[in-house]
């Protein structure tokens, strides 16, 4: 290639528009990076708190039962004198772990089934599409309770229950995306340029699926956490010994009428904030890494 003409070109001083748009200051990208950092710190803080806070704070201290929120116990204590802040953090950490495992498993199921539907021919496609419709038509909570109950409850029951119910919508998106990619001109051209099927799948199709999987994961994660809490709250999930948010909330209901509002309020609020933090993290991260929105 020749490299002539352009070397003569120099940056022309002339004609800036009134004001200029590139003034230094706080821009969209700064804001997005800030949000990512903030939510990541929050989530890391929750996990660190949940792991580092000793068991002594959740041990029974009958002398400080039902203490209202104070500086020493910001979330108050419960009827056994356990520190609610420590219980909430431990509960959220467990929820995060369960959310992580179930969301990953759901994305895995969705990827495999979506791939099979899009590549293995019409019969497989209609079977999987039927399965997707079936799962979508059943209310999540009912299916989770059935699966969790038949597996004997506990962490295993909840994880399998949530993982098996959250894949269908993502599987449908992946199937559609692959079908569209398979007939895309750049994919067809790649084959004619001598590239193998495997090469096309990994180099052309996968980069398009990764954002879908990522978005799917981010959307599934808070959903999984909320469902885990919901099932546990209803008594079909984790056992009462585990410091889960669902357990905390369901126990707290009994004390609400006694005016002990902090038992439900702070753990509930923390759960909402954590779910929201994950949302914000995911959304901003996606927009930062996507080349299409990168220049806006």
Residues of the shown chain interacting with other proteins in the complex, contacts defined by CB under 8 A: 1-3, 5-6, 8-12, 14-22, 27, 29-30, 33, 184-186, 188-196, 204, 207-208, 291-292, 294-296
Distance from the Cα of residue 25 to its chain's centroid: 32
Least distance in Å: CB of 11 to other proteins? 7
Least distance in Å: CB of 171 to other proteins? 22
Structure letter (DSSP) for residue 151: T
Check if the beta carbon of residue 239 is closer than 8 Å to that of residue 246: no
Least distance in Å: CB of 3 to other proteins? 6
Structure letter (DSSP) for residue 205: I
Least distance in Å: CB of 290 to other proteins? 9
Least distance in Å: CB of 121 to other proteins? 16
Least distance in Å: CB of 6 to other proteins? 7
Least distance in Å: CB of 8 to other proteins? 6
Residue with token string 């539907």: 117
Using alpha carbons, list the distances in angstroms from residue 31 to 26, 276, 277, 286: 7, 17, 15, 14
Give 8 or 52: the residue with its C-beta nearer to other proteins.
Answer: 8
Give 57 or 208: the residue with its C-beta nearer to other proteins.
Answer: 208
Give 16 or 139: the residue with its C-beta nearer to other proteins.
Answer: 16
Contact partners, residue 149, CB within 8 Å, separation at least 6: 157, 236
Residue with token string 């509930």: 268
Contact partners, residue 222, CB within 8 Å, separation at least 6: 99, 275, 276, 278, 279
Check if the beta carbon of residue 89 is closer than 8 Å to that of residue 95: no
Residue 240, exposed/middle/buried by CB under 10 A (0-12, 13-18, 19+)? exposed
Give 133 or 290: the residue with its C-beta nearer to other proteins.
Answer: 290
Check if the beta carbon of residue 118 is closer than 8 Å to that of residue 175: yes
Using alpha carbons, list the distances in angstroms from residue 48 to 42, 43, 90, 224, 279: 10, 9, 9, 21, 20
Give 152 or 194: the residue with its C-beta nearer to other proteins.
Answer: 194
Give 70 or 293: the residue with its C-beta nearer to other proteins.
Answer: 293
């Amino acid at each position: 290639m020749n490299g002539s003409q352009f070397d003569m070109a120099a940056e022309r001083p002339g004609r800036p528009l009134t004001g200029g748009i590139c003034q230094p200051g706080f821009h969209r990208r700064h804001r997005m990076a800030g949000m990512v950092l903030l939510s990541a710190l929050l989530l890391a803080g929750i996990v660190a708190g949940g792991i580092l806070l000793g068991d002594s704070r959740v041990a029974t201290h009958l002398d400080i039962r039902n203490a209202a929120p104070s500086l020493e116990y910001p979330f108050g204590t419960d009827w056994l004198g356990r520190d609610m802040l420590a219980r909430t953090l431990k509960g959220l950490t467990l929820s995060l772990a369960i959310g992580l495992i179930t969301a990953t498993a759901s994305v895995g199921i969705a990827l495999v089934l979506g791939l099979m539907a899009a590549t293995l021919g019409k019969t497989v496609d209609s079977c999987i599409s039927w399965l997707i419709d079936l799962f979508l038509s059943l209310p999540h909570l009912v299916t989770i309770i059935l699966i969790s109950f038949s597996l004997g409850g506990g962490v295993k029951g909840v994880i399998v229950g949530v993982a098996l119910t959250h894949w269908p919508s993502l599987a449908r998106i992946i199937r559609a995306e692959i079908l569209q990619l398979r007939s895309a001109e750049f994919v067809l051209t790649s084959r004619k340029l001598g590239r193998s099927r495997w090469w096309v799948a990994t180099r052309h199709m996968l980069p398009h699926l990764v954002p879908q999987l990522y978005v799917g994961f981010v959307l599934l994660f808070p959903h999984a956490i909320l469902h885990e809490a919901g099932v546990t709250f209803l008594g079909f999930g984790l056992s009462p010994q585990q410091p889960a948010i669902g357990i905390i909330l369901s126990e707290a209901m009994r004390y609400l009428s006694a005016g002990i509002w902090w038992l439900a309020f702070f753990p509930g609020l923390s759960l909402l904030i954590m779910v929201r933090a994950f949302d914000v993290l995911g959304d901003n991260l996606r927009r930062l890494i996507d080349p299409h929105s990168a220049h806006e």
